[in-house]
Amino acid sequence: MSADKTILIINPGSRSTRIGIFTAGKMKVNVSVKHPDDELRKFRNIWDQYDYRREAVFLVLKQGGFTMDEMDAIACRSGSIKHLPGGVYRVCADMIADMRSGIYGGHSVNVGCLVAYDLGDQFNIPVLTADPMTDELCSSARYSGIPQITRQSSFHALNQKATGRKIAAVLGKTYHEVNLIVVHLGGGITVGAHNRGKIIDVNNPLDGDGAFSPKRAGTLPAGDLVKLCFSGEYTQDEVQKLLAGNGGLFAYLGTTSAIEIEKRIAAGDATAAEVYEAMAYQIAKEVGACATVLEGKVDAIALTGSLAYSKVLLESLTRKISFLGPIHLDPGEYEMEALAEAAVRCLNHEEELSAYATYEPVTAPCG
């Protein structure tokens, strides 16, 4: 890997913007700019956060002593776009248009891609993304129960894949030789069944699927959700905000901070303890479901993401899922390194860029 490439990485999350500078083969800057809930509530939608997120990028550049003229490329985490095979893609106008349309969902990462795209245009720098909306679901995983709705593949593909490769290496094998359950614990929670290099089933946290998380509601009783939608008390946008934004821990406890919740629990807050345990309970159910998808052949269970630092959550999860397979703790995220390394591979012509075009996913039986 060439040491003369410098990459700016922009990776927004629901409550933070991670900004990195990768140069000389190392991550020289890796900063997570926190966005408090009271500040985010000032914005009507994610697109209104554009200037707010852009200013965070320039603040980190200034603090690190870097300028845009030093960058060979910008790497950003993919937003909500059409499904694609894994690979590295140039962020293009069609990709941005798909994000802005909302057809494929809404997430704060979309506005980060727009910031990256505009910076690339302004400074004539290539803007790349890696392992975008990856779709490797097996055919059975696509069925919802009614023909009008097909289950979609929308999850933390970049971190899930990076963690899968890392854990496989720890096991002394390649990613394509193992069966893993990877649990991404963050603002959104995804649990993926990795079957020899393919994620054949995973929940979609953006659309109310899986365990509830710090700001998302997860799977809801369908009948009660229908009644709520037609009650006349909520607009469509308000219901969507309940599902992703004002749901989960925030809805029950008024905070998304695991640190604050653990302090409440330690101080004897029974409600906080019960809600946090309920989240662990739902995550464990998702892990158990993935174990059945893999027919019990689980080489390892990986717990990753920012919430994997939570001692209370990990203790509860370990009690519930350790019988399914060995647990590997890999707290934090490796998206920043994965994005930077993918950009360098392309700049060095070690990997070809894939074209953003219509993709028809290949389906295969599960197992």
Low-confidence ranges of the chain (pLDDT < 70): 1-3, 358-367
6-133+335-347 maps to which CATH number?
3.30.420.40
Q: Where are the domains of the chain?
A: 6-133+335-347, 139-331
Q: Where are the alpha helices (DSSP H) in 205-352?
A: 222-229, 236-243, 248-253, 258-266, 270-293, 311-321, 335-347
Task: Provide the whole-model pTM.
Answer: 0.78
Residue 360, pLDDT score:
55
> Per residue in 237-266, is it b (16+ CB within 10 Å) or e — as a string?
eeebebbbbbbbbbebbeebbbeebbebbe
Intra-chain end-to-end CA distance of the chain, in Å: 36
Condensed to tens digits (0 to 9), the pLDDT of residues 220-278 reads: 999 999 999 999 999 999 999 999 889 999 999 999 999 999 999 999 999 999 999 99
Show the tokens assigned to 278: 């309920």
CA distance 162 to 159: 5
Same fold, 6-133+335-347 and 139-331: yes
Residue 208, pLDDT score:
82
139-331 maps to which CATH number?
3.30.420.40
Show the tokens assigned to 250: 């925030």
Condensed to tens digits (0 to 9), the pLDDT of residues 4-26 reads: 899 999 998 888 899 999 998 89
CA distance 135 to 246: 27
**Which residue in 75, 132, 137 sits closest to 105, CA to CA?**
132
Residue 356, pLDDT score:
87
CA distance 182 to 357: 28
Residue 1, pLDDT score:
42
